[in-house]
Amino acid sequence: MSDARILYAFPVVVPDVLRRARAATVSIHAVRNGKIAPITAAGSTFTLVEPGGAFAIDAEPITVTPDGIAEYAIDAVQLPETLAFSELYQERWDLVLPDGTTRTIRRECAVAPFLLYLPVDDAALMDGEYPNLVDELGEQGATLQPFIDRAYRDVLEELWKRGRWPDLMVSTSAFVKPVRELALFRIFKFLFRVTGGATNTNRWQILMEHHDAEQKGALADFRSRMDNDLDGLADSRTREATGTVVHRNAHHTRRVPRSGRW
């Protein structure tokens, strides 16, 4: 990229995951100087590339929200049952930016049998241990949701980094402890930072360090029953560790072709 061009950021945490024959909306936004840099709809397009390079969606026009965020509404018919399950799909956004340039932004994407859901709420962090935790935030927040959301996204990203496709993990309960502990770590880290010099600073530090150790242990020992044959069901009673790298690029039938690079 030429040094003369403006550097825009395109924030992303984890890949989008889609289901066959289900409508979905994907989005992307550009940021410059801490503010959204509005994308121009005219001339901007969205493409979804299959693992083999074919286009499931080919350069379709996008819409832009009043805030300048680019969106594309995927219709259910654009994700037919014939699509392979795989984490090797790619989104390509051709975006017209405020400086007049058009840039292609590539993002990982997956098509899975089922989608994960967040199994942790405020109560999971407070009940039986920290019942006044929201009150401790004071004017800084009326809910723990932002910390939970960030923790969940970070756990998903960690699993993707390990080469483990989170949406093939059938044991949703396995996500509870790592998400809970990471959220608590971030909350107490925040309280420790904003109360520097206060009498309870050591209290927040002790709790922060405790939950940091707990979340690291939970992630190191993360185990789940897997749906490696992509039929929507657990393959066995065995809970696999996430340290093993497994990639799946399966056909839509139960018979899974394998290649030497697995």
- Delimit the domains of the chain by residue range: 16-112, 122-241
Rounded to an integer, what distance in angstroms lies between the CA atom of residue 92 and that of residue 113?
22
Burial class of 236 by CB neighbour count within 10 A (0 to 12, 13 to 18, 19+)? exposed
Burial class of 252 by CB neighbour count within 10 A (0 to 12, 13 to 18, 19+)? middle
pLDDT at 256 over 80: no
Burial class of 73 by CB neighbour count within 10 A (0 to 12, 13 to 18, 19+)? middle
Q: Which residues of 50-84 form beta strands (DSSP E)? A: 55-61, 63-64, 70-74
pLDDT at 239 over 80: no
DSSP state of 192: H
Q: Quick one: pLDDT at residue 225?
A: 83
Q: Quick one: pLDDT at residue 200?
A: 64
Q: Quick one: pLDDT at residue 198?
A: 60
End-to-end CA distance of the chain: 33
On the CB side of 113, CA atoms within 13 Å amount to: 19
pLDDT one-digit tens code per residue, 25-75: 999 999 999 999 999 999 999 999 999 999 999 999 999 999 999 999 999
Residue type for 247, please?
H
166 falls in which pLDDT band (50, 70, 90)?
A: confident
Q: Quick one: pLDDT at residue 4?
A: 52
E strand or H helix at 132: none
**Does 2.60.40.1220 match the CATH number of domain 16-112?**
yes
111 falls in which pLDDT band (50, 70, 90)?
A: very high
* Average model confidence (pLDDT) across the chain: 87
- Residue whose tokens read 């693992």: 51
Tokens for 72, please give them: 């594309």
243 falls in which pLDDT band (50, 70, 90)?
A: low
Residue type for 148, please?
I
Residue 164 forms beta bridges with which residues?
Answer: none
What is the mean predicted confidence (pLDDT) over 109-119? 91
Higher pLDDT, 197 or 101: 101
